[in-house]
Structure 1
Amino acid sequence: MMRTTKRFAVILAWISISSLSSAQSAGTSPSLKLTFTTYDAPGALVTAIGDINSSGEMVGYYAFQSVGAATGFTLKSGQLTSFSYESSSTFGNGLNDAGVVAGYALVGNAYVGFTYDGSKFTIISPPGKTVTWIYGVSESGVVVGGTGVGIPNEAFESISGQFRDTTPPPGGFIEASGAGINKYGEVAGFTTGAGTLGFMYSQGRFRILEVPGDNTVTEAWDINDNHIVVGFYQASCASGCKYHGFALRNGKYLTIDYPGAVNTFILGVDNAGELVGAYDYNSADHATHGFYTSPLTLADFERPGCCRVDPNWK
């Protein structure tokens, strides 16, 4: 399922694309005045854009089959540059303003996390773990992700090679991961146990995130320096089981859907409010497209009737 958007090959059945070789304008969301632009990697069936930095450079991954090996990429001024770790299936997920990529690769039977500066890969894997997925990297080089033995059931951050567990209480999850981090050290992430919920973490304190309403999944994937958290949620199957993107600030959730798409997944946000992610039409070929948007503003959270409000937010 697309619930595991940035993670490993099984997700490619959700994050797929048509084989367009250039970006194309895709219209505007009337309520938010956002302009959406599609980007499809040349010849690929799968494209997802995972993050965007302050200079507009983007990172993501693509694949040529709905289930198959992935290749990481950066996209700068319309120029796509591919990368892979040891010719393995490679996922580019996070990107900071220095151009450092955060991601992971499948090497043999193990997933290894890495940072990549455009010429050199640095492997990041906590001792004794067989699975490490890295999703985000801050301007100071702090990385966040998930790790474990067999499954990534512990969220963590790594600061100068020192690993800190950031798994929300009570623990014991099937899956847990940090996914994005801002300059204040605030982390956005998600856990899966009895249900799937997002979380925020800062200085040892946790806040659980759940989009209000009849929804079954909430995942937080990034947070910018304006404290805007982005991610996606799944509506209950009584409401069609569709995935919707969201942006959250101060307890107010905006729903953001790519126009005409069946499912929308927001995976990253920069400090200007530009969003990136993936969407699909639930087509027979599992095609899913990468996209980016014009900036979301703080004023968008103040419009009358704009948002779903968390009644427990303090």
Structure 2
Amino acid sequence: MTVKQQTEGNSNMTTYQSRKIIPVLLTALVLWVLPSWAVQAASDARQPAKFTQIDVPGAIFTVANGINPRGDIVGLYLDSSGSVHGFLLSKGKFTTIDVPGANFTVPTRISPAGGIIGLYRTSNGSTHGFLLSNGEFMTIQKTGTTFIVLSGINPEGDIVGEYRDSRDNVHSFLLSDGAFTPIVKPGATLTDVEAINPRGDIVGFYLDKSGNSHGLLLSRGKFTTIDVSGAAQTYGCFGINPEGDIVGVTIDGSGNDHGFLLSDGKFNTIDVPGAVSTDANDINPQDDIVGSYIDSSGNQHGFLLSK
């Protein structure tokens, strides 16, 4: 595989805070399938679903970050030596994703055509974005920055993410046709964007002046705050499919994470059975949801939730 470089010059932005980037990947993987009532509506009406646990044998932990319409899944794992790798799971086959020369590689999303985006870190400590397409890596970096995260990609190749400037300020952006456009939620002290769908709808989160986190939707130039009723705090929205269904994470009063699905104006809680913490990271057109959870022993696993 070869590595190309793409940079962009001038752009002004404001705000940001990275969501947790959890290191992980695989060489072999065990799938444990449980029929479960894993998705519970706010009204307590339950929906049957199939929960698939994803674990990398010998790994410290596993995380599933993104899923496309074909059901291809990308994510990461931490191996027993402490190295972080990316993975692609496609048609039951796992492929390791490592950017050549990188200290670690973290895939975040996969497009319908199979293009994979993410980030990698080099030996000098700088963090770069990457696009993997047709077996070729392209580095994506904004001129004057040493830290960039690519968080979401749609079928048109539009990418959303964040970068850190020379003063250590973080800014959210939309990268379209080679140009970086700033994304700033008015009145927020920080704006973070995580995913974009074919219509150009963007989801993420922001911090208000009190330091509280809220989910956000940016659609046709309009920002909408998304707060899940009953949650101590809505951590953020992390995935959106073509129909506009949104997945994300809330935090309860004990500080534990819970996934949620927002569809047709209704919130559904996503909790992996027996887990103390569940994060919902992405959703595809078939409403398949991927993410990660922490079990009662403190171990982290990836999961696929499908109907």
Q: Do they superpose with TM above 0.5? A: yes
CA contact (8 A) 1:27 1:35 kept: yes
Q: Tell me the residue number matched to 2:159.
A: 143
Gaps of 5+ in 1: 296-314
Amino acid at match of 1:200: L
> Secondary structure of the equivalent of 1:44?
coil
The structure carrying a bigger helix percent of its residues is 1
The structure carrying a bigger strand percent of its residues is 2
Q: Tell me the residue number matched to 1:309.
A: none
> Secondary structure of the equivalent of 1:125?
strand
Q: Tell me the residue number matched to 2:218.
A: 201
Equivalent pairs: percent with the same residue? 28
Deviation at 1:49, TM superposition (A): 0.7
The normalised TM-score by structure 1 is 0.82
CA contact (8 A) 2:189 2:206 kept: no
The normalised TM-score by structure 2 is 0.84
CA contact (8 A) 1:69 1:90 kept: no
Deviation at 1:57, TM superposition (A): 0.8
Q: Tell me the residue number matched to 1:298.
A: none
Structure ranking higher on relative contact order (CA contacts 8 Å, 6+ apart): 2
Deviation at 1:261, TM superposition (A): 0.8
Q: Tell me the residue number matched to 2:229.
A: 212
CA-to-aligned-CA distance 1:119-164 (integer Å, 9 cap, x gap): 2111222232222111111011111111122757322110021111
CA-to-aligned-CA distance 1:147-204 (integer Å, 9 cap, x gap): 122757322110021111112112432xx32111111000111224512221111232
Q: State how far apart, in whole Å, the 2-side matches of 1:210 and 1:152 are.
A: 26
Q: Tell me the residue number matched to 1:188.
A: 203
CA contact (8 A) 1:145 1:179 kept: yes
Does the alignment pair 1:168 with 2:185?
A: yes
Q: Tell me the residue number matched to 1:299.
A: none
Equivalent residues, number = 279
CA contact (8 A) 1:131 1:152 kept: no
Deviation at 1:91, TM superposition (A): 0.6
CA-to-aligned-CA distance 1:189-225 (integer Å, 9 cap, x gap): 1224512221111232111111112412421101001
> Secondary structure of the equivalent of 1:255?
strand
Root-mean-square deviation (CA, aligned residues, Å) is 2.4
Q: State how far apart, in whole Å, the 2-side matches of 1:257 and 1:20 are.
A: 26
Q: Tell me the residue number matched to 1:109.
A: 125
Q: State how far apart, in whole Å, the 2-side matches of 1:224 and 1:152 are.
A: 30
Q: State how far apart, in whole Å, the 1-side matches of 2:233 and 2:31 are.
A: 33
Gaps of 5+ in 2: 1-16, 39-45
1:76-115 matches, within 5 Å, as 76-85=90-99, 86-107=101-122, 108-115=124-131
Q: Tell me the residue number matched to 2:8.
A: none
Amino acid at match of 2:259: G
Q: Quick one: which of 274, 279, 303 aligns to 1:291?
A: 303
Q: Tell me the residue number matched to 1:274.
A: 288
Q: State how far apart, in whole Å, the 2-side matches of 1:192 and 1:209 are.
A: 12
Q: State how far apart, in whole Å, the 1-side matches of 2:72 and 2:198 are.
A: 18
Counterparts in 2 of 1:278 and 1:199: CA distance versus 1, 3 Å: same
Amino acid at match of 1:258: V
1:28-43 matches, within 5 Å, as 28-29=36-37, 31-43=46-58
Q: Quick one: which of 14, 24, 30 aligns to 1:22?
A: 30
Moved over 4 A (4+): 3-6
Deviation at 1:20, TM superposition (A): 8.1
CA contact (8 A) 1:276 1:292 kept: yes
